[in-house]
């Protein structure tokens, strides 16, 4: 079911720009599909969304000795700059063994390391973040979403209270959007809260 609660407005002013990241690089990832659906909802509300794949930013597992010897990898520096340049983050968070995926956690660990001209947590602090997640089971990545919320909140990010956990992904999601009207309503509410927070941040900077 396509989301019909919002209509595209060509005259809508830019509400902000968001970097969209999926915590899975698997082909056919349900979370990648959810990320696309949520990105479209944000675009409808006037947000510019740039989607990246962590596959394009190969990083070694974080190791303090490696950092001391070789410094922060170029891919991590590029990611830090991207995060810093965007008003907010949209993160699709899969659940592996009840928690955040290794590729997503590793990206966060590297991107929290200080680099020249940018303090360690600076890209994340006061950054609005909307977390969504889905799984093929009945809990919809709820535990991983909670863990990611705790991590990002500790880092100073402004995590949107209305995250979105989508259970039973094969029946809940399709290229057309959400199959369930209640999910569609919840997704619209979550994205609208993100837009509101982006607006507050932009007003504070004005």
- Taking only the tens place, the pLDDT of each residue in 52-79 is 999 999 999 999 999 999 999 999 999 9
Q: What burial class does residue 158 get, using C-beta atoms within 10 Å of its C-beta: 0-12 exposed, 13-18 middle, 19+ buried?
A: middle
Instruction: Give domain status of residue 158, yes or no.
Output: yes
pLDDT band at residue 5 under the 50/70/90 scheme: very low
| pLDDT given for residue 206 in this prediction | 72
Instruction: Give domain status of residue 11, yes or no.
Output: no
| pLDDT given for residue 12 in this prediction | 53
pLDDT band at residue 13 under the 50/70/90 scheme: low
What φ, ψ does residue 49 adopt, rounded to 5°? -120, 125
| pLDDT given for residue 8 in this prediction | 44
| pLDDT given for residue 4 in this prediction | 41
Instruction: Give domain status of residue 170, yes or no.
Output: yes
Q: What is the pTM of this model?
A: 0.92
| pLDDT given for residue 81 in this prediction | 95
Mean pLDDT of all residues in the chain? 93
The arithmetic mean of pLDDT across residues 180-203, rounded, is 95
Tally of domains within the chain: 1
| pLDDT given for residue 129 in this prediction | 99
Instruction: Give domain status of residue 179, yes or no.
Output: yes
Instruction: Give domain status of residue 9, yes or no.
Output: no
Instruction: Give domain status of residue 127, yes or no.
Output: yes
* Alpha carbons 206 and 71: distance in angstroms, whole number: 35
* Alpha carbons 154 and 8: distance in angstroms, whole number: 36
| pLDDT given for residue 119 in this prediction | 87
* Alpha carbons 5 and 178: distance in angstroms, whole number: 12
Q: Which domain holds residue 176?
A: 18-59+83-104+121-131+142-205
* Alpha carbons 96 and 81: distance in angstroms, whole number: 28
Instruction: Give domain status of residue 113, yes or no.
Output: no
Whether the Cβ atoms of residue 75 and residue 59 lie closer than 8 Å to each other: yes
| Helical spans, DSSP H, in the chain | 30-44, 64-70, 74-85, 102-111, 142-154, 169-172, 181-205
The DSSP element (H or E) to which 118 belongs, if any, is: none
> pLDDT tens digit string along 119-157?
889 999 999 999 999 999 999 999 999 999 999 999 999
pLDDT band at residue 9 under the 50/70/90 scheme: very low
Residue 30's domain is classified under what CATH number?
A: 3.40.50.360
* Residue 56: both structure tokens together: 């394009």
Instruction: Give domain status of residue 52, yes or no.
Output: yes
């Amino acid at each position: 079911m396509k989301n019909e609660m919002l209509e595209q407005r060509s005259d809508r002013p830019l509400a902000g720009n968001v970097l969209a990241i999926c915590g899975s690089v698997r082909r056919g990832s349900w979370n990648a599909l959810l990320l696309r659906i949520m990105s479209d909802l944000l675009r409808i509300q006037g947000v510019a969304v740039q989607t990246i794949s962590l596959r394009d930013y190969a990083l070694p597992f974080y190791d303090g000795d490696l950092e001391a010897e070789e410094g922060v990898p170029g891919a991590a520096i590029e990611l830090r700059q991207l995060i810093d340049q965007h008003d907010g983050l949209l993160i699709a968070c899969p659940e592996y063994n009840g928690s955040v995926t290794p590729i997503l956690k590793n990206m966060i660990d590297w991107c929290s390391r200080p680099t020249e001209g940018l303090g360690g947590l600076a890209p994340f602090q006061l950054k609005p973040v909307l977390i969504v997640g889905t799984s093929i089971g009945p809990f919809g990545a709820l535990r991983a979403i909670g863990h990611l919320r705790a991590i990002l909140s500790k880092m100073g990010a402004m995590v949107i209270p209305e995250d979105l956990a989508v259970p039973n992904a094969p029946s809940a999601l399709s290229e057309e959007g959400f199959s369930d009207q209640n999910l569609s309503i919840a997704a619209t509410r979550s994205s609208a809260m993100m837009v509101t927070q982006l607006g507050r941040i932009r007003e504070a900077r004005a």
